[in-house]
C-alpha cells in the first residue's frame, strides 16, 4: 500500500508498506540468496507503477503483481504516539489488491507451486473480496498438496472485518492449512480473548500446526513444535520510536533463517534483533543503508 506519515502539522512523507511486503523486504535484505516474490494487484496510476519499481529496488520479484485498469493502489496514514505506538487511517475500499484472485489461473497456480513457501496474513484474508476467499483456499490447498510450506501470520485488524465471527471462520481455515503460524499475543487477545502463551498453545493444538511461533514483544517468544516447547527472552529496547513493522520484520528474519537451515534458537535471535532495529526508526521500512549498518553488519 501507499504509506503516508505525518512529519509536521502540514507535511507528510510518502512511502510503500504492508505486512506481507514488509516481511518480504526484511527477509530479502537479510538473506539475499533467497528468491522472494510478491503476489498482488495494483493500478496503472503513477504511484502504483512507482510501487512496482520499489519492489524491484528491494530485489523482490513482481511477476505476479497484476495491473488493474479500473482500480488503484490502497493508501493509509500512520501516526505514532510518544511511546512509538501507532494508529492507522485507511483508504482501500477500491484497492486493486482486493481483486487479486481474479488474476489467478492454472498458470499462476503452477508457478506458485514451484515455491518452497507461501506466506499470507490475516490482512491478506481481510483485504480480498469476500466472494474470492474460496478461490484463495483452493489455491492454498493446491499449493500445500504440491509440497509448498504454508505460513500464516494472523495479524488481526478488527476494523477490516464485518464481524469477529467472520474473522474467526477465516482464521481457523488458515490454521488448518498452515504448517507454520506466527501470531502475536495481541491477535488472540483481541479476537479470542486469549492473552497467554499457554492459552494460545491449547487453542492451536487441534489444528496440528508443525511450528507455532508466538510473539509477545518484550515478554519474549514461545516456539512449539512436535519435539519441543521453548521460551526465548527478548532484550527490551530503550529507544522505541515506532513499533510499525516490528512483527513483520521478525517474521521475515525468522522465516528466512528457517529456510536457510538455521535452528529455532538462531532464528529467534536474528528475528528479535531485526525487530529491535526496526522499532528504533520511523516507518515500516527502515532505509536499506541504516538497516545494513545496524543489523546485517552486526549480527549476520
223 touches 183 (CB < 8 A): no
Report the b/e string of 88-115 with b at 16+ CB within 10 A. eeeebeebbbbbbbebbeeebeeebbee
Active site residue 290: no
SS3 state at 199: helix
Helix, strand, coil percentages for the chain (3-state, nearest 5): 45, 20, 30
Dihedrals phi, psi of 222, to nearest 5 degrees: -115, 130
Q: What is the distance in angstroms between the CA of the first residue and the CA of the last residue of the chain?
A: 29
Strands 86-91 and 229-232: unpaired
* CA distances (Å), origin 90, targets 15, 87, 172, 199, 285: 14, 10, 26, 32, 18
Exactly one of 105, 116, 248, 290 is catalytic; name it: 248
The alpha carbon of 49 is separated from its chain's Cα centroid by a whole number of angstroms, namely 22
Return the residue matching grid coordinates 493509509. 76
Active site residues: 248
Amino acid at each position: 500500500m501507499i504509506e503516508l506519515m505525518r512529519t509536521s502539522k502540514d507535511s507528510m512523507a510518502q512511502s510503500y508498506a504492508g505486512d506481507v511486503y514488509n516481511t518480504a523486504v526484511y527477509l530479502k535484505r537479510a538473506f539475499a540468496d533467497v528468491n522472494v516474490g510478491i503476489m498482488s494487484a495494483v493500478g496503472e496510476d503513477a504511484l502504483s507503477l512507482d510501487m512496482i519499481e520499489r519492489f524491484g529496488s528491494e530485489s523482490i520479484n513482481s511477476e505476479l503483481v497484476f495491473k488493474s485498469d479500473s482500480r488503484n493502489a490502497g493508501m493509509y496514514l500512520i501516526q505514532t504516539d510518544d511511546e512509538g505506538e501507532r494508529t492507522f487511517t485507511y483508504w482501500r475500499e477500491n484497492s486493486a489488491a482486493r481483486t487479486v484472485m481474479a488474476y489467478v489461473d492454472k498458470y499462476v497456480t503452477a508457478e506458485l507451486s514451484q515455491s518452497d513457501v507461501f506466506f499470507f496474513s490475516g490482512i491478506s484474508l481481510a483485504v480480498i473480496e469476500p466472494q474470492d476467499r474460496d478461490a484463495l483456499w483452493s489455491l492454498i490447498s493446491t499449493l500445500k498438496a504440491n509440497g509448498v510450506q504454508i505460513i500464516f501470520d494472523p495479524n488481526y485488524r478488527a476494523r477490516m472485518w464485518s464481524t469477529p465471527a467472520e474473522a474467526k471462520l477465516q482464521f481457523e481455515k488458515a490454521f488448518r492449512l498452515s504448517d507454520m503460524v506466527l501470531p502475536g499475543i495481541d491477535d488472540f487477545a483481541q479476537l479470542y480473548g486469549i492473552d497467554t502463551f499457554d492459552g494460545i498453545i491449547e487453542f492451536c493444538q487441534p489444528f496440528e500446526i508443525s511450528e507455532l511461533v508466538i510473539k509477545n514483544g518484550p515478554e519474549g517468544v514461545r516456539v512449539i513444535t512436535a519435539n519441543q516447547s521453548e521460551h526465548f527472552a527478548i532484550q527490551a529496547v530503550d529507544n522505541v520510536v515506532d513499533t510499525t513493522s516490528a512483527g513483520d520484520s521478525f517474521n521475515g528474519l525468522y522465516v528466512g533463517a528457517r529456510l536457510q537451515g538455521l535452528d529455532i534458537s538462531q532464528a529467534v535471535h536474528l528475528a528479535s534483533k531485526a525487530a529491535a532495529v526496526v522499532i528504533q526508526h520511523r516507518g515500516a521500512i527502515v532505509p536499506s543503508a541504516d538497516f545494513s549498518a545496524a543489523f546485517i553488519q552486526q549480527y549476520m
